[in-house]
A and B are shown apart, each in its own frame.
Chain A
Amino acid sequence: MNTLWLHLRNAGRLAWGLLRELGDENAYARHLEVHGRTHSGAEWRRFSEERLRAKYARAKCC
């Protein structure tokens, strides 16, 4: 039972990690950590603009 619970918890963490990665939330957390900054509206906008500029300079797949 414990093993099953562990597997389920790991799968859930993985799914949550994937959603956060797809939503750029992980990238934002890394950005704050790397630059030693704290979260604020202005910081998110700065990160988001840089991130999205790079993201939408690449082709999206068909």
Chain B
Amino acid sequence: MNKIVGRALWAAVSVVAALAIAQIAGERGEPVNSMWVVLAAVCTFLIGFRFYAKFIAAKVMLLDDRRATPAERLRNGHDFEPTNKWILFGHHFAAIAGPGPLVGPTLAAQFGYLPGTLWILVGCVLGGAVQDFIILFCSMRRNGKSLGQMAREEIGRVGGFTALVTVLLIMIILLAVVALVVVNALKGSPWGTFTIAATMPIAVFMGLYLRYLRPGKVLEVSAIGFVLVLASIFGGEWVAHHAVLGPMFTLSGVALAVSVIIYGFAASALPVWLLLAPRDYLSTFVKLGVVLLLGAGILFVRPELQLPAVTRFVDGSGPIFAGKIFPFCFITIACGAISGFHSLISSGTTPKMIARESHAWPVGYGSMLLEGFVAIMAIISAAALQPGIFFAVNSPAGIVGATPEAATATITAWGFPVTPQQMAQLADQVGESSLFYRTGGAPSLALGMAHIFAEGMRGAGRAILGFWYHFAIMFEALFILTVIDAGTRVGRFMLQDLLGQIHAPLGRTSWMPGVIGSSAAIVLAWGYFLYQGVIDPLGGINTLWPLFGIANQLLATIALCVATTVLIKMHRARYLWITCVPMTWLVVACYSAAWQKIFSDVPRIGFLARANQLQGLIDSGKVTGAKVAETQTMIFNERLDAAVCALFLVLVTTILVDSIRLWAGILKGSRPAAVTETPFVLTQLRPEEI
């Protein structure tokens, strides 16, 4: 009887999923309620979790709860500790959820809400969650080894070294692009700049409090820190209107970029307990709180999607970034659909905390589905904005025109009506001087979130919109800065690891000249790309986000390569399609995008075409005086981006070729299928211990 009820229930979930997708996909020229998107996502994810993930767990991985996990065998009370699966679920989710699933879908909304939504649903269920789940499984069966270690052991030394270099390069691009998002959000915004600046002394206070006043009281100090951050948001409004302080905190893009670069260096070289760790604690709690709040806000307000299902920009002429829907939609939304970076988390802390093998199912697969849902919420927030406003905020001056009148005329001519008065009124409501040309996705996402939150508090007046806008900006900037300081530090360790092979002292993380030199090298590397983005007349995002998307998806290709190798060695070759289908898709999408970014004839897409166009301007004498040197720098930057993109392709091709040779050898029987799993040990863990 229960079986029949269960089947009927799942059939109903499938029907609701199909109906909801049909509802959001059917273009009828009228706004669609966001609840259809929520229903489509929830039902699709439930089906993926219940059937596809269970199939992978039972038939492919053969998860076995009788087998002791590393958490039990190597239990040390620190890294290795059997943990309740729902606590680990939250822990893993907090680790994988960064700015990516919020910013990427917002940028991709230029194609309309439908392409991004469908890619998140399909990509998450068949790609991203599968990658996270299988890498978590592989690491769990190998004492919690990292992706790099597994690549070296499963594929070979070339694969391992290439994976390390690839991760380092991706990290540099990642840090530059997320820093650019913050810079563009805070440019000319004294309220936002003050709020974010205030988080630094607050973090230092928290660090000192935790170390000397009330050691060990992390939750207590985080609560105090949160109250202080809220106070700084209110203080920011006062500062913005102050005759002296207001101009002091009104910074240009370049000034903000320099500040972020200095901050990154300081945070990387300072003791972690002083700045990095307290900010990270605060950022993690705020992140989880805001995700829950946004989910509740969307369910309560049920906003209508104002953006069309598909916009005219699928043809590649989009103002936010150039390029057709294929492949650019699929590399713009990486986190939220499939993100290579997750494989680093799935082979980091999480495999060392899993109590039972079957817990990898909700933790690895389930957490990614939740991240996919965060990406869906970001699309809803962006699509709930009036389209004219969405494009006015996200389009660079180089595309829409340098004055409010020119920008609104261009956007209105595209079929998305907006007026300078509307923009001025909105800017006034959120306490900003202007909302034009704020590329990067963060401000439009903050606007969408602010509208949802403010709508949920009807009658609170316009002041509440300004508070929520700056609350959302603070939330985004807070954890982006955490990514920057932690990422710079990790990049430093990676560089020292590589340099240590040339000169041993350079590899010592306690040798001060090595620490300062490698920190400076990493900061200058991402700082250069950040500066390049800030001075780019096309807004920087057009160049850097696709580069980051390509890099991140190529890292996912490496992770799926490792997963495929493990499956072949486990004699599960008949199930290779599980990893090979998403891997093939990624190869096609990333290589196609990278090829276009390097060689396209369209200057807004192709790096080399843009360099040639700029060179042509110099040769024809259209650029003169001081502008010549600036243009030459831009030409160099375009060629550098082309070289970085090509390098990514070479590195990943090396791993792919190396892997394919290995797979062919094993499948033909000419190479041994040596399984490197730890031997089976019967678990002694009692249920009450978890």
Contact with A along B354-372 (1 / 0, CB 8 A): 0000000000000000000
Q: In the complex where A20-B219, A56-B486 touch, is A62 in contact with B341 (Cβ < 8 A)?
A: yes
Bound form: Cα–Cα A21–B116 in Å: 34
B651 at the binding interface (Cβ < 8 Å): no
Q: Which of B14-22, B94-102, B557-565 interfaces with chain A?
A: B94-102
Cross-chain contact of A61 among B90, B288, B341 (Cβ < 8 A): B341
Residues of A within 8 A of B344 (CB): 58-59, 61
Q: In the complex where A22-B285, A34-B76 touch, is A62 in contact with B83 (Cβ < 8 A)?
A: no
Q: In the complex where A44-B216, A52-B273 touch, is A22 in contact with B98 (Cβ < 8 A)?
A: no
Establish whether residues A60 and B482, one from each chain, have CB atoms under 8 Å apart when the complex forms.
yes
Bound form: Cα–Cα A52–B95 in Å: 15
Residues of B within 8 A of A53 (CB): 272
Contact with A along B450-489 (1 / 0, CB 8 A): 0000000000000000000000000000000011001101
Residues of A within 8 A of B211 (CB): 41, 44-45, 48
Bound form: Cα–Cα A55–B263 in Å: 20
Establish whether residues A19 and B482, one from each chain, have CB atoms under 8 Å apart when the complex forms.
no
Max chain B CB contacts within 10 Å: which of A31, A33, A56, A60?
A60
Interface size on A, residues (CB 8 A): 38
Closest to A57 in B: B493
Q: Which of B237-245, B276-284, B514-522, B679-687 interfaces with chain A?
A: B276-284
**Nearest CB in chain B: distance from A26 CB, A:** 8
Establish whether residues A62 and B335, one from each chain, have CB atoms under 8 Å apart when the complex forms.
yes
A17 at the binding interface (Cβ < 8 Å): yes
B86 at the binding interface (Cβ < 8 Å): yes
Establish whether residues B552 and A62, one from each chain, have CB atoms under 8 Å apart when the complex forms.
yes
A8 at the binding interface (Cβ < 8 Å): no
Residues of B within 8 A of A41 (CB): 211-212, 215
Residues 5-44 of A contacting B (Cβ, < 8 Å): 14, 17-25, 27-28, 30-31, 33-35, 39-41, 43-44
Cross-chain contact of B86 among A18, A45, A55 (Cβ < 8 A): A18
A1 at the binding interface (Cβ < 8 Å): no
Q: In the complex where A44-B215, A45-B215, A52-B273 touch, is A60 in contact with B490 (Cβ < 8 A)?
A: yes
Residues of A within 8 A of B81 (CB): 27, 30
Interface majority SS (helix, strand, loop, mixed), chain B: helix
Residues of A within 8 A of B76 (CB): 34
Q: How large is the interface on B (under 10, 10 to 19, 20 to 34, 35 or more residues)?
A: 35 or more
Establish whether residues B483 and A56, one from each chain, have CB atoms under 8 Å apart when the complex forms.
no
B34 at the binding interface (Cβ < 8 Å): no
B77 at the binding interface (Cβ < 8 Å): yes
Establish whether residues B489 and A56, one from each chain, have CB atoms under 8 Å apart when the complex forms.
yes
Establish whether residues A56 and B490, one from each chain, have CB atoms under 8 Å apart when the complex forms.
yes
Bound form: Cα–Cα A31–B285 in Å: 23
6 A-B interface contacts by CB (under 8 A): A22-B288, A33-B77, A48-B273, A57-B489, A62-B339, A62-B341
Residues 145-204 of B contacting A (Cβ, < 8 Å): 167, 171, 174, 178
Cross-chain contact of A21 among B77, B91, B552 (Cβ < 8 A): B91
Chain A positions within 8 Å of B, measured between CB atoms, are: 14, 17-25, 27-28, 30-31, 33-35, 39-41, 43-45, 48-62
Establish whether residues A60 and B91, one from each chain, have CB atoms under 8 Å apart when the complex forms.
no
Residues of B within 8 A of A20 (CB): 219
Q: Taking A48-B211, A61-B98 as given, write out 13 further A-B residue pairs in contact, using a Cβ cutoff of 8 Å, ordered by the A residue number.
A: A22-B284, A25-B219, A30-B77, A33-B77, A40-B215, A41-B215, A44-B215, A50-B78, A52-B273, A59-B341, A59-B487, A60-B486, A62-B341
Interface majority SS (helix, strand, loop, mixed), chain A: helix
B118 at the binding interface (Cβ < 8 Å): no
**Nearest CB in chain A: distance from B348 CB, A:** 5
B612 at the binding interface (Cβ < 8 Å): no
Chain B positions within 8 Å of A, measured between CB atoms, are: 76-79, 81, 83-84, 86-87, 90-91, 94-100, 167, 171, 174, 178, 210-212, 215-216, 218-219, 222, 272-273, 276-277, 281, 284-285, 288, 334-335, 339, 341-342, 344-345, 348-349, 482-483, 486-487, 489-490, 493, 548, 552
Establish whether residues A28 and B487, one from each chain, have CB atoms under 8 Å apart when the complex forms.
no
Bound form: Cα–Cα A54–B285 in Å: 20
Bound form: Cα–Cα A40–B215 in Å: 7
A-B pairs with lowest CB-CB distance, top 9: A34-B77, A23-B218, A44-B215, A30-B77, A18-B90, A60-B486, A62-B100, A41-B215, A44-B216
Cross-chain contact of B345 among A39, A48, A49, A61 (Cβ < 8 A): A61
Q: In the complex where A30-B81, A49-B273 touch, is A14 in contact with B215 (Cβ < 8 A)?
A: no
Closest to B552 in A: A62
Establish whether residues B273 and A60, one from each chain, have CB atoms under 8 Å apart when the complex forms.
no
**Nearest CB in chain B: distance from A23 CB, A:** 3
Cross-chain contact of B87 among A17, A34, A45 (Cβ < 8 A): A17
Bound form: Cα–Cα A49–B482 in Å: 18
Residues of A within 8 A of B552 (CB): 62
Establish whether residues A61 and B272, one from each chain, have CB atoms under 8 Å apart when the complex forms.
no
Residues of B within 8 A of A17 (CB): 84, 87
**Nearest CB in chain B: distance from A60 CB, A:** 4
Closest to B347 in A: A58
Residues of B within 8 A of A60 (CB): 95, 98, 482-483, 486-487, 490
Bound form: Cα–Cα A57–B167 in Å: 14
Closest to B86 in A: A14
**Nearest CB in chain A: distance from B86 CB, A:** 5
Establish whether residues A31 and B78, one from each chain, have CB atoms under 8 Å apart when the complex forms.
yes
